Amino acid sequence: MKRVRLDGRSLTRAQLVAVAHGAQVELAEDQLPAVARAADFLAEQVRREEPIYGVSTGFGSNADRLLGGHHLRDELPGATRSAEGLHEELQRNLIVTHAVCVGEPFAPEVVRAMVCIRINTLMRGHSGIRVQTLQAMAAMLNAGIVPLVPQLGSVGASGDLAPLSHLAIVLLGGGEAFYQGERVAGAVALERAGLAPVTLSYKEGLALNNGTAQMLACGVLALARLEELLDTADLAAAMTIDAFAGRLGAFAPEVHALRPHPGQVAAAEHIRTLLAGSTLADIPYHLVPRFRPWLPTSWDTHEAQALRFDIGWDWVPLTQRHGREKFYQRFRPFRGGKKHQPQDSYSLRCTPQVHGAVRDAAAQAARVLEVELNALTDNPIVFPDAQAEHVEQQVISAGHFHGMPLALAMSYVKAAIPVLASISERRLNKLVDPATSDGLPGFLIGNEDATESGHMIVQYTAAAIVNDLASRAHPASVYSIPTSANAEDHVSMGANEARHVLAMVDDLGKVLALELYTAAQALDLRRDMINAARALAGRADAAALATKVAGGPAPDAADYPVFLAEVEALRAELAAADAFRPGHAIAAAHAAIRAEIAFLDRDRAMDGEVATAVRLVRDGVVLAAARTVERG
């Protein structure tokens, strides 16, 4: 991978994701003088005995206590003075006492992103860290040392103190780390990589652990995944629409121009692109047969007997057409699988509005994250070049470590994720329920012997995940618990917020995988049922097709000639049609699924197939197949 240049001003989300997954970094040489200038300025202020928070004072509730020239106990008779000065001890103690997170370790990509973020913000030259310390951090990252950072312990102000201390403690030769896949002591990881521990200087401990790197890393990685899943959600919806032989009017550009929310317009356009070339969408009602269970008498040819279904329509008698004559001039008087109504259910036709709203939530979060990527987030802020009478005007205590901008952005995304999962589950449910599936078999299985469950329980799994996502969507950012003896009396809880989002995005992908798995089955059945009707019509035998038109009132003798004439018209229209097919991109996505998961012709073990579907979505295989067609 190409090295990512860190200058404190130009890091992008895509670059951070690349570093998270293994790309190396380099420090921008032209920015290092600014870094050194701030460090030299602090050293000079300490020499002049200026009181500076976190440099020559304690931290938090100890901010009113100035550091002396040596330990108080050094005055005792026989005391031996420590070789380490109080300023160095202050910074080291800050790290070793703050590295107290608990829980499972973060994944390596999260930790690598955290290190990259921290280096980048310190490259701004307003933190007082030395160039050699930043070089040591970059060397640790490039050597593949991944500090072990447990997931629980940050309240999001002053930044992510505890998790960032777990990063820094490895730099000092403490803590634990993963190196070449092995969990080892931090000192061992450094030694094996040929690196030496760092001794911290003025404010360096505070610079290393005072910032928003954990919540930002989780947020950026979550958003990168969510943006892929937004396109996957559109793909799943479009495959389901094709499987329903749905209506496309709700996605027309002139419709969305009248309510032009950006995400909504984008979702509608994407679904139109995915469905381009479909002859299932907008198919006339009367051409869509409905499922009937297979019987030994269902088909009269050996080839047709291999089908896992029978098909049929009801004929609308002349006595039931009063007031509907115009409709039956446009559509033939047969009721099959597609209901005679001009609109699909909300989970289909409102897809742009729902998916689009989630897109807009993601876009808002992206704006916040992109600002934060190149922001200074530690405290105090050093302005070495400022013209000032007092040092307090050059070293200013502020609140850039407070994570609320990220926390609220993540809470928005956190609320949006169950919405996207919920509408996906509703589409899945429509596919398996014969009352709502527009003529598909119950649970998408032939089940002629009443022994099969098909995709029934797939919907249960999706419902369980949606419920779990909904229960986790409550914003953590609305609950502030003061810390540091009330010196830090309002915190963001943004680290919890972003950590939740990262985990929830993974579960969203599982729901979308279940919809695609189910929609592929439904699409096969819908296509095969319509094409079976077309094959029957191709025999030029209206009487053969008439055997499939049953279930309603039998035609009166006087009406029978009209009945046969209308069956012949239906036959001729079906016979003249080309083979029915989904959209070109949908066909490619369907083929990617079928390359690893066969059509479910009868019940079999499905656990491995579900796991495969989840993997195909997680690894972007299905989406890549569709995109190849979309992009020509």
Question: At which residue do the structure tokens 């310390």 appear?
Answer: 133
Largest CA distance in the chain: 124
E-assigned strand segments in 133-267: 146-147, 150-152, 176-179, 182-185
Determine whether 202 is an active site residue: no
211: its two tokens: 């910032």
Q: Are 282 and 248 in contact (CB under 8 A)?
A: yes
The structure tokens listed for 246 are: 């749905």
**What are the counts of helices (DSSP H) followed by strands (DSSP E) for the chain?**
23, 13
Question: 147 CB contacts (<8 Å, ≥6 apart)?
Answer: 111, 115, 166, 167, 169, 170, 175, 176, 177, 186
| 381, 126 contact by CB (below 8 A) | yes
* Cβ atoms < 10 Å from Cβ of 560: 12
Give the orientation angle of helix 494-537 with respect to helix 560-576, to 10 degrees: 120
Phi/psi class of residue 181: alpha, beta or left (left: φ > 0; alpha: ψ in -120 to 50)? left
- Residue 564: CB atoms within 10 Å: 14
* CA dist., res. 325 & res. 328, Å (int): 5
C-alpha–C-alpha distance, residues 389 and 377, integer Å: 25
Collapsed DSSP state (helix, strand, coil) of residue 55: coil
- What are the DSSP E strand ranges found in 245-369? 290-292, 310-312, 314-315, 334-335
Question: Are the C-beta atoms of residues 172 and 95 closer than 8 Å to each other?
Answer: yes
Helical axes 262-274 vs 351-373, angle rounded to 10°: 120
CA distances from 376 to 117, 207, 213, 307 (A): 10, 10, 11, 66
Exposed (0-12), middle (13-18) or buried (19+): which is 134, by Cβ within 10 Å?
buried
**Residue 313 to residue 536: CA distance in whole angstroms:** 14
Which parts of 124-212 fold into alpha helices (H)?
Answer: 131-142, 161-171, 186-192, 204-209
User: In whole angstroms, what is the distance from residue 356 CA to residue 204 CA?
Assistant: 44
Q: Assign 3-class secondary structure to 593-607.
A: HHCCCCCCCCCCCCH
Half-sphere exposure of 355 (CA within 13 A, CB side): 30
In 538-559, where does DSSP find H-type helix?
Answer: 542-546
Which residues, at least 6 apart from 202, have a Cβ–Cβ distance to it below 8 Å? Answer: 39, 42, 43, 46, 55, 87, 91, 128
Please check whether residue 25 is in contact with residue 141, taking contact to mean a CB–CB distance below 8 angstroms: yes
Which of the following is catalytic: 53, 179, 202, 285?
53
* Separation CA 448–CA 293 (nearest Å): 6
Q: Indicate which residues carry an active-site annotation.
A: 53
